[in-house]
């Protein structure tokens, strides 16, 4: 059985506390640990990846390292075990891994992430704003003010803080890649706060691409459909986890490894005319 067959629904019903752990997932996600083959497309680039401990972030970190980049991984302190595992794969590829725990809801911490990258690497070539928070709700009355605020502070406010801090340390050819979602254009009503921020990310990215064009810095976003990451069993009820991704044309969620090549492409110098774009990775579902 290959790694995509393993995640065809029905999946085992499971639930974890937020933010979730890769180790506790059944089946374990595939981040390209044994499959991604690099070819030097990001040789000596310096990258910052938020949410780089697990899921899409880990897959991107592994791919970037195998393409020749050094990687700073930002993550929550409670995700230390996952972050250490990601760092191990980056270092196994012969590249430098820098770990920075903390909560990106805090503007000062966002600035500290970039300061650390500049101290360790001397510059920032690639910024991947990937970390996200979501919870599911059946009714508007269930969404507390604090919940709405946390979702925005994690998903969109942090993106602004990090980008603003990074741009002065980016040269012509720099790349900013933001993770949005299929929910940006086709919002799921049970993910109202999350979906709203994902729409904001797409708009932010389009405006940012225009604002930074004269600096030679590109900004794009990736819009995944369902992806098998710790976010799913930690934020969705078990019965939803069981059927996760089933309604998409391919009939399953994506493995994180299936997203990484898109981030690599957007980070390379080969994509020098790609800016302001949203690249959909949605398993056959049209992104309207």
User: Catalytic site residues?
Assistant: 194
Contact 183, 198 (CB under 8 A): yes
Q: How far apart are CA 60 and CA 79, in angstroms?
A: 17
Q: In what order do the strands lie in the sheet with 218-224?
A: 97-101, 70-75, 46-50, 126-129, 175-179, 218-224, 278-281
Q: How far apart are CA 88 and CA 50, in angstroms?
A: 17
Query: DSSP code of 227?
Result: B
Question: Where does 15-130 have alpha helices with state H?
Answer: 55-66, 80-92, 107-121
DSSP H/E element including 239: helix 238-242
Report the relative pairing of strands 175-179 and 97-101 from DSSP bridges: unpaired
């Amino acid at each position: 059985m290959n790694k995509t067959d393993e995640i065809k629904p029905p999946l085992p019903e499971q639930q974890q506390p937020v933010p979730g752990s890769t180790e506790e997932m059944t089946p374990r996600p595939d981040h390209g640990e044994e499959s991604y083959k690099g070819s030097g497309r990001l040789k000596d680039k310096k990258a910052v990846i938020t949410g780089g401990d697990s899921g899409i972030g880990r897959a991107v970190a592994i791919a970037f390292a195998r393409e020749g980049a050094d990687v700073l991984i930002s993550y929550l302190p409670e995700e230390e075990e996952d972050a250490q595992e990601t760092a191990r794969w980056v270092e196994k590829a012969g590249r430098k891994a820098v770990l920075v725990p903390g909560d990106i809801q805090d503007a000062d911490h966002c600035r500290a992430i970039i300061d650390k990258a500049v101290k360790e690497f001397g510059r920032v070539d690639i910024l991947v704003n990937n970390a996200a928070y979501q919870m599911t709700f059946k009714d508007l009355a269930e969404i507390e003010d604090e919940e709405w605020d946390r979702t925005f502070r994690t998903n969109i406010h942090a993106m602004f803080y990090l980008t603003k801090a990074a741009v002065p340390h980016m040269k012509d050819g720099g790349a900013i890649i933001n993770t949005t979602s299929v929910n940006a254009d086709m919002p799921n009503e049970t993910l109202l706060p999350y979906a709203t921020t994902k729409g904001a990310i797409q708009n932010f990215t389009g405006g940012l691409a225009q604002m930074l064009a004269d600096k030679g810095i590109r900004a794009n976003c990736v819009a995944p459909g369902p992806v098998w990451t710790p976010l799913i069993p930690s934020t969705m009820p078990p019965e939803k986890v069981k059927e996760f991704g089933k309604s998409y044309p391919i009939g399953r969620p994506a493995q994180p490894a299936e997203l990484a090549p898109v981030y690599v492409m957007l980070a390379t110098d080969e994509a020098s005319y790609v800016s302001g774009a949203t690249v959909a990775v949605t398993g056959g579902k049209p992104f309207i």
